[in-house]
Amino acid sequence: MYDLSHVTLGAITETPESEFIMRRKKVDKILEEKGLEGMIFFNTSSIFYLTGSSLIQTERPMVYIYRAAGDSALLVPRLELEHASAHVKNCKIYCYPEYPGERHPMEFLKDIVKELGLENATLGADGNGAPAVQGYKGPALTEIFPDMKLTFMPRMITEMKIYKSPYEIMLMKESARWGNLAHMLLQEYTKPGANEADVSARASAEATRIMLKTMGPCYKPTGYDSRGASAGYRGQIGPNSYFPHATMAALTFKPGDTLVTGAGASIQGYNSELERVMFVGEPSKEQEKFYNYAITAQKAAYAEIKPGKKCSDVDKAMMNFFKDNDLMKYWRHHTGHSIGTGGHEAPFFDVADDTLIVPGMCFTVEPGLYVEGLGGFRLSDTLVVTETGFELITYYPTEIEKMICW
């Protein structure tokens, strides 16, 4: 099933309806197994996964009422009505005027559920109401439907996303292609005296322009594709790269700096992750030593990635390498995570995650070493698990002589 030799990068227009039908059939099976008549979704990323509609989550709640056998409905604020209608098929669209409005949006949800004859049904839900984000507050589902038999399943879509279809993998490979270009431009424009904000913006804008021109006028990006292709440093420059999650600091590159990069692209909402360690000028012996440790740690993790192994086995192998080489004082995080429509998804390459590795999973592999005063040493690559092992979908060089910026 996951022989990827036939998965080629081709013309992408928009995600075909067949993908959404396949996903909804998986939901049908889960609901049938649990004896549920339908499901209520408040999470907009789950709504996107099942319908293709990339709605912007604000204080205004959006609700997808899904029925395996019967009409489904999507409730959106008035300002999203035309947008949702243009993107969602096989689903009736309802709207409420505004939030908070003279009548709360959850009252409109109550009307729709009654219209569908589900007020006394046995339903699943991904939460007990709309998320309390950007100032939203409102009643819980259990308050407005006291007689409804509810089963809360907040991880249903999270668990479905673990296994990628060949089409999803193709989108992630396309993402990796443009992330590679953005990173190439990032390295080309990185020079002593340049500013990280200028270099990151220039590389990202140029890569995005080339990407969109190459994809052609038939390509229909989703709302999640707005960042295009991107590459940057996020403040991980020189001694500041010691912080694994530094933030943009508009730093200037200096000879001797250790640089930690990040690059990727969103294609139909799907992502890849590419990270490298680079150096401004010839690296010192100490920089070279830790760079080689990072490369070897990644290889130790790779050796454990195959169907039948557990995610925890990968992290344990990396941790054993660190311990054997007296590197634990430089350790800060687990080896990697799944990736797809989210930048981070479950499962995780972590000592406490015993999820079995199976074909169709996609992961990042990014062990890191953080040396105070010297910087961070973290490479990240994205891979897809195959029947016999894995295939790397990111492919930027790792040889240290190719990681130097002059």
Interval 342-387: pLDDT, tens: 999 999 999 999 999 999 999 999 999 999 999 999 999 999 999 9
Query: Which DSSP letter does residue 126 get?
Result: S
Residue 166 CA to residue 179 CA, distance in Å, equals 20
Instruction: For residues 276 and 291, give the distance between their C-alpha atoms in angstroms, rounded to a whole number.
Output: 10
Amino acid (1-letter code) at residue 267: I
**Backbone phi and psi for residue 13, each to the nearest 5 degrees, phi listed first:** -110, -70
| Domain covering 166-405 assigned CATH 3.90.230.10 in the classification | yes
Q: What is the pLDDT of residues 88-105, one digit of tens each?
A: 888 999 999 999 999 999
pTM above 0.85, yes or no: yes
The CATH T-level fold of domain 16-160 is Creatine Amidinohydrolase; Chain A, domain 1 (3.40.350)
Contacts of 228 (CB under 8 A, 6+ apart): 178, 204, 207, 208, 211, 212, 265, 266
DSSP state of 342: S
H-run or E-run covering 85: helix 81-87
Q: Please, are residues 368 and 333 in contact by the beta-carbon 8 Å criterion?
A: yes
Can you tell me the mean pLDDT for 176-187?
Answer: 98
Where exactly are the structural domains of the chain? Answer: 16-160, 166-405
Query: Residue 401 gets which letter from DSSP?
Result: G
Please say if the pLDDT value at position 323 is more than 90. Answer: yes
Q: Per-residue pLDDT averaged across 384-393, rounded?
A: 98
The residues with which 152 forms a beta bridge, in sequence order, are 125
| pLDDT tens digits for range 207-259 | 999 999 999 999 988 888 888 999 999 999 999 999 999 998 889 999 999 99
